[in-house]
Amino acid sequence: MAADASMPILVVDDYKTTIRIVHSLLRQLGFDNLDEAASGEEALGKLKRKPYGLVISDWNMEPMTGYDLLKSVRGDAGMSRTPFIMITAESKTENVVAAKQAGANNYIVKPFNAETLKQKMSTIFGEF
């Protein structure tokens, strides 16, 4: 699957600052079809209405965590193949393992830069 600069990307985080940072990094990489959601529930609603080429979601959100969002996405036949990157401030090995087992395509520990994001996206889409 190749990265298409025009593909819609959904960034999910309950902190507006993080959403702005991730949007800025994605724009640096040439992506500008960006949506946002402030919660797992909001993201799930958007995902049911529109196909996304990539979801980048924070782990720690209330009341629906990014981990729960990931499990919901993977459990829905219409969304199950949507590429999904989990981001979090926690680098616990058990969280990385849980995210991978739940179907995350990749995992990024905050803080991160455009190069890190590009590397993680490249493992999903190939070089771009």
Rounded average pLDDT per 10-residue block, the chain, 128 residues: 88 96 98 97 96 97 95 96 94 90 96 97 93
Check residue 119 and give its pLDDT.
97
Task: Dig out the tokens for 122 from the structure.
Answer: 């490249």
Per-residue model confidence (pLDDT) at position 92: 87
Q: Specify the pLDDT at position 1.
A: 65
pTM for the complete prediction?
0.96
Q: What is the pLDDT of residue 91?
A: 83
What is the CB neighbour count within 10 angstroms for residue 17?
A: 8
Q: Which residue(s) pair with 37 in the sheet?
A: 12
The dotted CATH code for 9-122 is: 3.40.50.2300
Instruction: Provide the pLDDT for residue 18.
Output: 95
40-56 per-residue burial string, b: 16 or more CB within 10 A, e: under 16:
bebbbebbeeeebbbbb
Question: What is the CB neighbour count within 10 angstroms for residue 62?
Answer: 8
Q: Where are the domains of the chain?
A: 9-122
